[in-house]
Amino acid sequence: MTAPAQLAPILEVGGDPLRESMVRTETALLSAAGDHGDVLRGFAEGTLSAGGKRLRPMLVYICAGDLPVSEAVLSAGVAVELLHAATLVHDDVLDRADLRRGQPTVFASGGRSAATTTGDLLFSRAFAVLVRAGDAEAVRVLSAASSALARGELVQRADAWVVDVPVERYLERCELKTARLFEAACRLGASLGSPGPGAAADALADFGRRIGVAFQIFDDVLDVSGPVERTGKARGTDLLDGTVTLPLILARGLDPLLGDLDLRSAVTTPAEAEAVCDRIAATGALEDARASALGHVKQAKAGIAGLGLPAKQKQLLDLVADGVVERYS
């Protein structure tokens, strides 16, 4: 596994026990996709081996405390990543996306049916793997996160083209479609791992939720700022989808022309989307949005500061928190 740049400091502090856990995650992900017929295995393996940062399993493991991880904790990490992969495959169907992480999507290589079905399989496998941890409460946590993801996706599509969406509604969407799974990762790790201080599970779950919101805000900033060579996708794809995110919400208050913009009629080509990205950037809204993300990270770190966590665990969590807003910077 070649780790993306922002994971390097985390893996350095985590050392061999964390590295070994991440390698076991890769093996377990591929094994979870196997045994379901050649066609499906091909698609599922393709999706999973295309990589990604494995940030969610890493959060599970760090919150669990002891490294290398137990089998139960490993199952939780793998389950969270399988669920994440399932939603990506379905998102690609809905967005008709051809590439993800530089690889052809299942939608591109197998079509709509194969991709919908592969997503369904990955959903099923997430629960099948998690239940190996033998904990019914863990299944409840993951299915609640999974319901939230679905709801977030639907809220986003219901809000499409609504340029005057309130910030609160935007943040609720970030929470549903992204932060709840980060929260679940931390809660699963804390509850299946070595017992920490009594209130640690709830506090770690809050930590996960906050960095999840920061992660999503920063993702939305990257869609406007690029650069393309780093993000792997054209700038302004959200605008073309009608997805209104924090940079545009903030910029609308700063630039009257953006305030009057009707996305559906005015942003229909990649060139138009790039021009609007430039205009958003010119308002300074990207810095404001980044500051908002950093505020969530700061809150997240403050929330676990007084828990009395072991120094190394606290250090790793801080590095993960910083990592979610330091991508490509």
Pair 293, 218: CB distance under 8 Å: yes
Closest to its own copies by CB, 113 vs 329, is 113
Q: Does 237 bind its own copies (CB under 8 A)?
A: no
The window from 69-77, 87-95, 161-169, 276-284 that contacts its own copies (CB under 8 A) reads 87-95
Binding residue (CB under 8 A) for its own copies from 40, 55, 88, 281: 40
Closest to its own copies by CB, 243 vs 313, is 243
Site for its own copies in 66-85 (CB under 8 A): none
Closest to its own copies by CB, 147 vs 329, is 147
| Cα–Cα nearest to 110, from 41, 34, 51, 28 | 41
Sign of the Cα pseudo-torsion (291, 295, 296, 300, in order):
positive
CA angle 300, 304, 306 (to 5 degrees): 140
Instruction: Tell me the closest approach of the beta carbon of residue 130 to its own copies, in angstroms.
Output: 8
Instruction: Tell me the closest approach of the beta carbon of residue 1 to its own copies, in angstroms.
Output: 26
Instruction: Tell me the closest approach of the beta carbon of residue 233 to its own copies, in angstroms.
Output: 19
| Cα–Cα nearest to 326, from 1, 18, 3, 4 | 4
Give me the amino acid identity at 197. Answer: P
Backbone angles phi, psi at 179, to 5 degrees: -70, -30
What tokens appear for 74 in the block? 């490993």
Instruction: Tell me the closest approach of the beta carbon of residue 129 to its own copies, in angstroms.
Output: 8
Site for its own copies in 124-183 (CB under 8 A): 124-125, 127-128, 130-131, 134-137, 139-140, 142-144, 146-147, 149-151, 153-155, 157-158
| Cα 279 from chain centroid (whole Å) | 27
Q: Is the peptide bond before 68 cis (omega within 30 degrees of 0)?
A: yes
- Identify any residues that bridge with 262 across adjacent strands, giving them in sequence order: none
| Cα 88 from chain centroid (whole Å) | 10
What tokens appear for 267 in the block? 């942003």
Instruction: Tell me the closest approach of the beta carbon of residue 296 to its own copies, in angstroms.
Output: 23
Instruction: Tell me the closest approach of the beta carbon of residue 127 to its own copies, in angstroms.
Output: 4
| Cα–Cα nearest to 105, from 47, 51, 48 | 47
Instruction: Tell me the closest approach of the beta carbon of residue 6 to its own copies, in angstroms.
Output: 29
| Cα–Cα nearest to 89, from 40, 161, 34 | 40
Closest to its own copies by CB, 30 vs 150, is 150
Binding residue (CB under 8 A) for its own copies from 11, 94, 234, 275: 94
Q: Does 108 bind its own copies (CB under 8 A)?
A: no
Instruction: Tell me the closest approach of the beta carbon of residue 292 to its own copies, in angstroms.
Output: 24
Closest to its own copies by CB, 151 vs 301, is 151
What letter would DSSP give residue 177?
I
Angstrom distance (rounded) from CA 21 to CA 17: 6
| Cα–Cα nearest to 116, from 86, 85, 156, 78 | 86
Q: Does 61 bind its own copies (CB under 8 A)?
A: no
Binding residue (CB under 8 A) for its own copies from 120, 288, 322, 326: 120
- Please report, as ranges, the residues that interact with its own copies according to CB under 8 A: 36-37, 39-40, 86-87, 90, 93-94, 112-114, 116-121, 123-125, 127-128, 130-131, 134-137, 139-140, 142-144, 146-147, 149-151, 153-155, 157-158
